Amino acid sequence: AKRDLWKDVVTEEKALERIQEMGEAGALEGYHGPLRQLVKIDLKYQRAAQTSADNWINAVVVDDVKTAIECVEGLKKNKLGMTRFIPLKDINPPEPLKDLKASGVEGYLPKLIRCDETYEQALYLVWGDTYVASDRKTAIDLAKKGYRTVTLAGDLFEPEGGLVGGHWRRPPDFSKLIPTEESIDDLSTTIKSLRKSLSSKMTDLRKSGGNLRKFTGFIDDFNKNIDGIDAQILETQESIKRLERGITTIDESIGKHSEERDRELALASTLLERKDRTLEEIEKAKKEIATLKALSPSDISGLEVTRNTIEREIADLREQKAQLQSETQVQSGLIEKVLEMRTSDTKDQIARWREDIKSLERERVETQKQLEAEEKAVEELQKALDSVVSEVEATSRILETHRGSVRRLEQQIERLDRRQVALDRRNMELNLDVEKHRLQAQQRFEELARLGFGDMTSTEEIDLTKIEYMLQRIRREKSSLGAINQLAIEHYESVVVNYKYLSVRINGLEEERASILKFIDEVEQEKTEHFMTAFNEVCENFSALFAKITGGGDGRLELQKPESPFSGGVDLYVQFPGKPMRLVSGTSGGERSVSAISYLLAIQRFLKAPFYLFDEIDAHLDDLNTARLADVLKETALDAQFLMVSLKDVMVHNADKIYGVFAQNGRSKVLALPMKVEVAV
């Protein structure tokens, strides 16, 4: 049923497609093609042209009626449906109408469509009685005057009173959405062959079930054997790698031993040089020993320096000896290992090396004997030096003991001096206290004398403890009273006068504060009124611009806190045609671009400027929205100049003047295209 429905829907599409295939293949003489492929319509006028053509835009253009009839017969014979034909030589188009120069009239529609001169008669046949109006009001007025008029939005007004309108959209290409009968037959044949193949495979599978299990067991055993062989192969590969690494190591060892042999020869020559230097040093040491023996006890400090130098030299000689011994032992072991690994071809060379080593060993033994002899001589000298040093140390200890006694005496003297200073300070403080108490007692006696108690009484029968207790209580009461202002009475009058002055001043300040607050409220109210006036005007501009750019959409601005506009933000709500109202943050990228452009233009209509510079604000817009934006800019350009960078053909085509910028030989070139000029017909 669905297939039949699709057949009914696309009969005309199939007929047109069949005619087009025959014409492109050269089977039809006088075939030119569908009219829609032979003309070029600007995006601005596509809706108007599509609506007013009444599907004649899909008509096939041929030379004459004969060719058209051949096509019709072919369609009938193959039952492919119907389509329209325009025979260029046999049509009688209406006479061209004059251009109307009126507000809101875009022009005579055939003049707004570009094509080759050959197809001008077809243009006048389809659109020869139609004008294009920019708005609905102008279209209605022209229709009342007897002119067939279509608006840019696609609403068609017939002079007889008929009207075609609504939501315009491009006609769908049903031929691409509906599967052809051939593809359905091919799919059915493929499914049948797959079913046959599947049934045969299932039969073979049932017959070979037992064999499959045996074969599976055999495969499992075979896989296990393969796994074992793989493991052995891996082990063998690892063994080969280890052997290769061993061979590499042996080769490296041979090279190292050769280098070490060269170093041994160099070391032997170095040892001979050291031997000569050691003999010279021994001779020097003997001379120094003789010199030291001739020294007097007064040269002890010089001997100590010499002793330290000799000790360092002895330590260096011992380290050199130990190093020579260890190096000799290591080199001997390495040479022996190398000799064992060498082949028979290198035995003679190894023997020569051994002889060299033996000679070196003999030289080393002789050098060691000489060193031992020198060490004995040094030990004897060391003993003599130790005896001298011990005497010097004994003298130094006695001197240090005396110095320690002197330091202790100095410390005791310093402590006694500090103690004496402290005692003197304390004595002075006590003297000051005595003098202070004496003066206080004298003042008390004088006060008692003024009070009439000048005669001193005996205190033998008075309980001083009770009196002391009463004094303490009186002192506490006195301290609880705090400081008493003796001039309070005198200050009272000035304080009263100052209080009255301040009261009057406070009342004046309160009145000033009230007036300032009132002024602030007036300013805030005026600011809010100005803001709301501007906001409402921007809202109206935004709604109008958004409706124009989107082709009937709705957009508005709402304050987040209307009761306090300056404490909240502004929400932008948009409703594109056929979609619900929502915040702009929940729309797509292109819809956000349209909303942002509308909002910016709304603000700029409120804050007008002599010119505006836009940089690719139509980058994310489709051709339809770009055309609407161009219309809005052209309308706004009556009050200001717009400079715009754009890569869209629709925007460029609507510009009054165009400048092209391109790169040539590494430099920017600017090309100015001529301005549009209206040509009277």
The reported pTM is 0.30
**Confidence (pLDDT) at 124:** 85
**Nearest CA to 130 among 58, 45, 62?**
45
Please give the average per-residue pLDDT across 82-103, as a whole number.
83
H or E, element range at 611:
strand 611-615
**Confidence (pLDDT) at 429:** 86
pLDDT tens for 364-380 read 777 777 777 777 766 77
Tell the burial category of 400 from Cβ atoms under 10 Å away from its Cβ (0-12, 13-18, 19+): exposed
pLDDT tens for 222-233 read 556 666 666 766
CA distance 572 to 582: 8
**Mean per-residue pLDDT over the chain, rounded:** 76
Quote the percentage of the chain above a pLDDT of 90.
Answer: 0
Quote the percentage of the chain above a pLDDT of 70.
Answer: 72
- Residue 77, pLDDT > 80, answer no
Q: Label residue 463 by pLDDT band (50, 70, 90).
A: confident
Q: Label residue 175 by pLDDT band (50, 70, 90).
A: very low
CA distance 181 to 7: 9
Q: Label residue 681 by pLDDT band (50, 70, 90).
A: very low
Q: Residues 253, 255, 257, 263: is their CA dihedral positive or negative?
A: negative
pLDDT tens for 248-262 read 777 776 777 777 777
- Residue 246, pLDDT > 70, answer no
Residue type, 508: G
Taking phi over 0 as left and psi of -120 to 50 as alpha, with beta for the rest, 545 belongs to alpha
- Residue 481, pLDDT > 80, answer no
Which residue blocks in 482-565 are alpha helix, DSSP H? Answer: 488-550
CA distance 611 to 631: 17
Please give the average per-residue pLDDT across 21-50, as a whole number.
79
Q: How many Cα atoms occupy the beta-carbon half-sphere of 450 within 13 Å?
A: 5
CA distance 602 to 188: 60
Tokens of 604: 């700029």
pLDDT tens for 271-303 read 778 777 877 877 776 776 666 566 555 565 666
**Confidence (pLDDT) at 221:** 63
Sheet with 570-575, strands from edge to edge, namely 554-559, 570-575, 582-583
Q: Label residue 493 by pLDDT band (50, 70, 90).
A: confident
- Residue 562, pLDDT > 70, answer yes
Higher pLDDT, 251 or 313: 313
Hey, is 486 helix, strand or coil?
A: coil
Rg (CA), the chain: 61
**Confidence (pLDDT) at 36:** 80
If you search the block for the tokens 């200050």, which residue do you land on?
491
**Confidence (pLDDT) at 1:** 42
Please give the average per-residue pLDDT across 627-654, as a whole number.
84
- Residue 514, pLDDT > 60, answer yes
**List of residues 6+ apart from 653 with CB closer than 8 A:** 42, 44
Q: Residues 644, 646, 649, 650: is their CA dihedral positive or negative?
A: negative
Please give the average per-residue pLDDT across 428-452, as a whole number.
81
Can you list the positions of beta strands (E) in 5-67?
31-34, 39-41, 60-62
Q: How far is CA 269 from CA 239, 260, 275, 356, 510, in A?
A: 44, 14, 10, 12, 111
**Nearest CA to 129 among 101, 159, 151?**
159
